[in-house]
Amino acid sequence: MNRPPLFVLAVLLLAVSPAGRAQTATAPLATEGAGIYRHQPASRDGIGKLYMGREIAQVMGYAGMSWLERPDRQTTEMPDRVVESLALEPGDVVADIGAGSGYFSFRISPLVPKGRVLAVDLQPEMLALVERRARESGITNIEPVLGTESDPNLPAGSVDLALMVDAYHEFSYPREMMVGIFRALKPGGRVVLVEYRGEDPTVPIKELHKMTEDQVRREMAVVGLTWRETLGFLPQQHVLVFEKKG
Protein backbone atom coordinates (compact mmCIF):
# COMPACT_ATOMS: atom_id res chain seq x y z
CA MET A 1 0.00 0.00 0.00
CA ASN A 2 1.44 3.39 -0.97
CA ARG A 3 1.47 5.98 1.80
CA PRO A 4 2.69 9.59 1.81
CA PRO A 5 6.01 10.25 3.58
CA LEU A 6 5.75 10.35 7.34
CA PHE A 7 6.46 14.07 7.65
CA VAL A 8 3.50 14.77 5.34
CA LEU A 9 1.30 12.56 7.50
CA ALA A 10 2.47 14.54 10.53
CA VAL A 11 1.51 17.86 9.00
CA LEU A 12 -1.87 16.59 7.85
CA LEU A 13 -2.77 14.94 11.14
CA LEU A 14 -1.67 17.83 13.32
CA ALA A 15 -3.81 20.14 11.19
CA VAL A 16 -6.93 18.19 12.19
CA SER A 17 -8.24 19.71 15.39
CA PRO A 18 -10.12 17.37 17.77
CA ALA A 19 -12.75 20.09 18.03
CA GLY A 20 -13.37 19.78 14.31
CA ARG A 21 -14.29 16.12 14.52
CA ALA A 22 -17.88 14.93 14.82
CA GLN A 23 -18.75 14.25 18.46
CA THR A 24 -20.97 11.44 19.69
CA ALA A 25 -23.24 11.34 22.70
CA THR A 26 -21.65 8.19 24.12
CA ALA A 27 -18.87 9.94 26.04
CA PRO A 28 -18.69 13.76 26.15
CA LEU A 29 -15.30 15.28 25.40
CA ALA A 30 -13.82 16.79 28.54
CA THR A 31 -11.53 19.79 28.43
CA GLU A 32 -9.02 21.46 30.74
CA GLY A 33 -11.57 24.16 31.43
CA ALA A 34 -14.11 21.63 32.67
CA GLY A 35 -12.24 21.42 35.97
CA ILE A 36 -11.21 17.78 35.71
CA TYR A 37 -7.51 18.58 36.21
CA ARG A 38 -5.72 20.29 39.09
CA HIS A 39 -2.22 21.74 39.15
CA GLN A 40 0.54 21.80 41.72
CA PRO A 41 4.33 22.20 41.67
CA ALA A 42 5.71 19.31 39.67
CA SER A 43 7.38 16.48 41.56
CA ARG A 44 10.65 15.05 40.31
CA ASP A 45 9.04 12.58 37.90
CA GLY A 46 5.73 14.33 37.26
CA ILE A 47 4.33 17.25 35.30
CA GLY A 48 2.47 18.92 38.17
CA LYS A 49 -0.94 18.06 36.70
CA LEU A 50 -3.33 15.91 38.71
CA TYR A 51 -6.15 13.76 37.36
CA MET A 52 -8.53 11.97 39.70
CA GLY A 53 -6.03 12.28 42.53
CA ARG A 54 -2.84 11.14 40.79
CA GLU A 55 -0.03 13.21 39.33
CA ILE A 56 0.61 12.50 35.66
CA ALA A 57 4.10 11.17 34.96
CA GLN A 58 6.62 12.70 32.62
CA VAL A 59 6.71 11.21 29.12
CA MET A 60 9.66 9.05 28.14
CA GLY A 61 11.00 10.68 24.99
CA TYR A 62 12.56 9.27 21.84
CA ALA A 63 16.02 9.43 23.46
CA GLY A 64 14.91 6.74 25.93
CA MET A 65 13.93 4.26 23.23
CA SER A 66 16.60 1.77 24.32
CA TRP A 67 14.52 1.16 27.47
CA LEU A 68 11.70 -0.13 25.28
CA GLU A 69 13.98 -2.62 23.54
CA ARG A 70 15.97 -3.79 26.58
CA PRO A 71 16.74 -7.56 26.48
CA ASP A 72 15.41 -8.34 29.97
CA ARG A 73 11.94 -7.20 28.94
CA GLN A 74 11.29 -10.71 27.65
CA THR A 75 11.46 -12.10 31.17
CA THR A 76 10.26 -9.17 33.28
CA GLU A 77 7.26 -8.21 31.10
CA MET A 78 6.63 -11.43 29.14
CA PRO A 79 5.43 -9.63 25.97
CA ASP A 80 4.62 -12.82 24.06
CA ARG A 81 2.40 -14.00 26.90
CA VAL A 82 0.69 -10.60 26.98
CA VAL A 83 -0.04 -10.78 23.25
CA GLU A 84 -1.31 -14.36 23.58
CA SER A 85 -3.71 -13.24 26.32
CA LEU A 86 -5.35 -10.78 23.91
CA ALA A 87 -7.03 -13.69 22.07
CA LEU A 88 -6.98 -11.86 18.75
CA GLU A 89 -8.89 -12.86 15.63
CA PRO A 90 -7.19 -12.77 12.18
CA GLY A 91 -9.28 -9.83 10.99
CA ASP A 92 -9.00 -7.66 14.10
CA VAL A 93 -7.94 -4.04 13.97
CA VAL A 94 -5.66 -3.35 16.92
CA ALA A 95 -4.57 0.12 18.06
CA ASP A 96 -1.21 0.04 19.83
CA ILE A 97 -1.49 3.33 21.73
CA GLY A 98 1.88 4.76 22.67
CA ALA A 99 3.48 2.30 20.29
CA GLY A 100 6.97 3.73 20.68
CA SER A 101 9.46 1.62 18.77
CA GLY A 102 6.75 -0.89 17.81
CA TYR A 103 7.79 -3.45 20.40
CA PHE A 104 4.23 -4.79 20.66
CA SER A 105 3.03 -3.80 17.19
CA PHE A 106 5.45 -6.21 15.53
CA ARG A 107 4.41 -9.02 17.85
CA ILE A 108 0.72 -8.44 17.12
CA SER A 109 1.10 -8.08 13.34
CA PRO A 110 1.37 -11.80 12.44
CA LEU A 111 -1.71 -12.61 14.53
CA VAL A 112 -3.96 -10.31 12.50
CA PRO A 113 -3.02 -11.18 8.89
CA LYS A 114 -6.42 -10.02 7.62
CA GLY A 115 -6.55 -7.03 9.93
CA ARG A 116 -4.32 -4.11 10.83
CA VAL A 117 -2.14 -2.78 13.62
CA LEU A 118 -2.45 0.96 14.07
CA ALA A 119 0.78 2.07 15.75
CA VAL A 120 -0.24 5.32 17.45
CA ASP A 121 2.33 7.68 18.90
CA LEU A 122 2.80 11.44 19.22
CA GLN A 123 6.53 11.36 18.46
CA PRO A 124 7.27 11.35 14.71
CA GLU A 125 10.71 9.87 15.38
CA MET A 126 9.14 6.77 16.89
CA LEU A 127 6.74 6.38 13.98
CA ALA A 128 9.52 6.83 11.45
CA LEU A 129 11.35 3.92 13.07
CA VAL A 130 8.21 1.75 13.01
CA GLU A 131 7.58 2.58 9.36
CA ARG A 132 11.18 1.82 8.40
CA ARG A 133 11.21 -1.49 10.27
CA ALA A 134 7.92 -2.55 8.69
CA ARG A 135 9.12 -1.64 5.21
CA GLU A 136 12.44 -3.46 5.64
CA SER A 137 10.64 -6.54 6.96
CA GLY A 138 8.00 -6.54 4.22
CA ILE A 139 5.21 -6.09 6.77
CA THR A 140 2.18 -4.39 5.25
CA ASN A 141 -0.43 -4.47 8.02
CA ILE A 142 1.26 -2.04 10.44
CA GLU A 143 0.21 1.56 9.89
CA PRO A 144 1.81 4.47 11.80
CA VAL A 145 -0.68 7.01 13.14
CA LEU A 146 0.45 10.35 14.49
CA GLY A 147 -1.70 11.27 17.46
CA THR A 148 -1.71 14.35 19.64
CA GLU A 149 -1.62 14.77 23.41
CA SER A 150 -5.41 14.79 23.49
CA ASP A 151 -6.54 12.71 20.49
CA PRO A 152 -5.42 9.32 19.15
CA ASN A 153 -6.64 10.35 15.67
CA LEU A 154 -8.52 7.11 15.07
CA PRO A 155 -11.75 6.85 13.05
CA ALA A 156 -14.93 6.28 15.02
CA GLY A 157 -16.03 2.65 15.34
CA SER A 158 -12.90 1.28 13.67
CA VAL A 159 -10.98 -0.59 16.38
CA ASP A 160 -11.52 -4.03 17.92
CA LEU A 161 -8.89 -3.64 20.62
CA ALA A 162 -6.80 -0.78 21.99
CA LEU A 163 -3.64 -1.79 23.83
CA MET A 164 -1.65 0.49 26.13
CA VAL A 165 1.51 -0.93 27.68
CA ASP A 166 3.20 1.24 30.32
CA ALA A 167 1.85 4.30 28.52
CA TYR A 168 -1.46 5.48 29.97
CA HIS A 169 0.02 6.96 33.15
CA GLU A 170 2.02 9.40 30.97
CA PHE A 171 -0.94 10.79 29.01
CA SER A 172 -1.04 14.57 29.51
CA TYR A 173 -4.78 14.56 28.72
CA PRO A 174 -5.97 11.15 29.91
CA ARG A 175 -9.70 11.99 29.86
CA GLU A 176 -9.61 13.34 26.31
CA MET A 177 -7.44 10.49 25.06
CA MET A 178 -9.72 7.86 26.54
CA VAL A 179 -12.81 9.58 25.13
CA GLY A 180 -11.11 9.41 21.72
CA ILE A 181 -10.25 5.75 22.21
CA PHE A 182 -13.77 4.98 23.42
CA ARG A 183 -15.15 6.62 20.29
CA ALA A 184 -12.77 4.62 18.08
CA LEU A 185 -13.85 1.26 19.53
CA LYS A 186 -16.44 -0.87 17.84
CA PRO A 187 -19.36 -2.01 20.03
CA GLY A 188 -17.94 -4.79 22.16
CA GLY A 189 -14.41 -3.55 21.52
CA ARG A 190 -11.83 -3.95 24.26
CA VAL A 191 -9.23 -1.79 25.97
CA VAL A 192 -6.26 -3.55 27.58
CA LEU A 193 -3.92 -1.65 29.87
CA VAL A 194 -0.66 -3.04 31.19
CA GLU A 195 0.63 -1.01 34.14
CA TYR A 196 3.15 -1.65 36.88
CA ARG A 197 1.38 -2.45 40.15
CA GLY A 198 1.08 0.65 42.29
CA GLU A 199 -0.09 -1.41 45.27
CA ASP A 200 3.28 -3.19 45.47
CA PRO A 201 6.13 -1.15 46.99
CA THR A 202 8.61 -3.87 46.01
CA VAL A 203 8.12 -3.23 42.27
CA PRO A 204 11.31 -1.28 41.42
CA ILE A 205 9.65 1.40 39.29
CA LYS A 206 9.22 5.09 40.10
CA GLU A 207 5.93 5.69 41.88
CA LEU A 208 4.39 7.92 39.22
CA HIS A 209 5.09 5.24 36.61
CA LYS A 210 2.93 2.73 38.50
CA MET A 211 -0.86 2.57 38.91
CA THR A 212 -3.15 0.71 41.27
CA GLU A 213 -5.94 -1.44 39.89
CA ASP A 214 -8.50 0.70 41.70
CA GLN A 215 -7.19 3.88 40.11
CA VAL A 216 -7.23 2.43 36.60
CA ARG A 217 -10.75 1.08 37.01
CA ARG A 218 -12.06 4.44 38.24
CA GLU A 219 -10.45 6.31 35.36
CA MET A 220 -11.82 3.92 32.75
CA ALA A 221 -15.33 3.95 34.25
CA VAL A 222 -15.76 7.71 33.83
CA VAL A 223 -15.46 7.41 30.04
CA GLY A 224 -17.98 4.57 29.83
CA LEU A 225 -15.75 1.48 29.78
CA THR A 226 -16.78 -1.62 31.72
CA TRP A 227 -14.19 -3.65 33.59
CA ARG A 228 -14.08 -7.29 32.47
CA GLU A 229 -11.13 -8.83 34.28
CA THR A 230 -7.66 -8.28 35.67
CA LEU A 231 -5.07 -10.85 34.70
CA GLY A 232 -2.31 -11.54 37.19
CA PHE A 233 0.22 -13.64 35.29
CA LEU A 234 2.89 -10.94 35.05
CA PRO A 235 5.45 -10.69 37.85
CA GLN A 236 5.21 -6.90 38.29
CA GLN A 237 2.30 -5.59 36.23
CA HIS A 238 -1.47 -5.66 36.04
CA VAL A 239 -3.18 -6.61 32.77
CA LEU A 240 -6.56 -4.87 32.98
CA VAL A 241 -9.26 -5.63 30.42
CA PHE A 242 -12.21 -3.29 29.73
CA GLU A 243 -15.06 -3.37 27.23
CA LYS A 244 -17.23 -0.93 25.35
CA LYS A 245 -20.66 -2.40 25.84
CA GLY A 246 -22.67 -2.83 22.67
All domains in the chain, ordered by first residue: 64-243 (3.40.50.150)
Using 50, 70 and 90 to split pLDDT, how confident is the model at 67? Answer: low
The pTM of the full predicted model, rounded to 2 decimals, is 0.84
pLDDT at 3: 42
CA 246 from centroid of its chain's CA atoms: 22
Task: Collect contacts of 6-14 with beta carbons under 8 A, ≥24 apart.
Answer: 6/124, 6/127, 6/128, 6/131, 6/144, 6/146, 7/124, 9/144, 9/146, 10/124, 10/146, 13/145, 13/146, 13/147, 13/148, 13/153, 14/146, 14/148
Answer with the residue of higher pLDDT: 102 or 77. 102
Q: From 208, 240, 184, 234, select the one nearest 74 (Cα to Cα).
A: 234
pLDDT at 230: 98
Q: What is the DSSP string of 71-91?
A: TTHHHHT-HHHHHHHT---TT
Q: Is the pLDDT of residue 108 over 90?
A: yes
Q: Is the pLDDT of residue 73 over 90?
A: no
Q: Is the pLDDT of residue 2 over 90?
A: no
